[in-house]
Structure formats: C-alpha cells, structure tokens
C-alpha cells in the first residue's frame, strides 16, 4: 500500500510568508542566544532578508510567538500547536 502525500495540503494551511518569518525568527533567536550561525544559516538569512513578503513586523510577531510558546507552553496559542 502506498502512503498518502499530504504535504500539499499542509503547505496550503500555513501562509508561506508566515512560515518564512518563523524561520527568520528562529535564526534571530539563535543569534541572540549566542550560538554560531552555520554557512547555511547565513545563506538562509540573506534570502529571507531579500524576500519582500517577510516584513519586519511579521518577523517580530514570529519572535514573540516563539518566545511566548517557550515561556507559557503550547496551550497559550490556542488550537494552533
């Protein structure tokens, strides 16, 4: 039996710019934590910085979302875990 591929459905549920902003936020939090960036992180950060859909406001919201989830647990975000 072949397994079903739900990646297309999953990718449509989350806004692509929100997903990119969350990646950028994780990179920023990694930098603030004092961890070194790999060459892959540098490439990814430069691509995300050039992306017009990933705005400063969206990245800021993603940073606060990630830190709230770490501080208060996944239940703080409601149904979206």
**Residue 79 pLDDT:** 55
pLDDT tens figures, 43-65: 999 999 999 999 999 999 999 99
Distance CA 75, CA 56 (A): 26
pLDDT at 54: 94
Inter-helix orientation angle 16-32/39-50, to 10°: 130
């Amino acid at each position: 039996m072949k397994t079903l591929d739900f990646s297309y459905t999953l990718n449509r549920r989350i806004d692509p710019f929100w997903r990119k902003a969350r990646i950028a936020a994780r990179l920023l939090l990694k930098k603030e934590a004092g961890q070194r960036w790999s060459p892959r992180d540098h490439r990814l950060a430069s691509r995300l910085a050039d992306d017009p859909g990933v705005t400063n406001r969206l990245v800021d919201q993603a940073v606060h979302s990630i830190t709230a989830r770490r501080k208060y647990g996944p239940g703080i975000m409601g149904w979206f875990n």
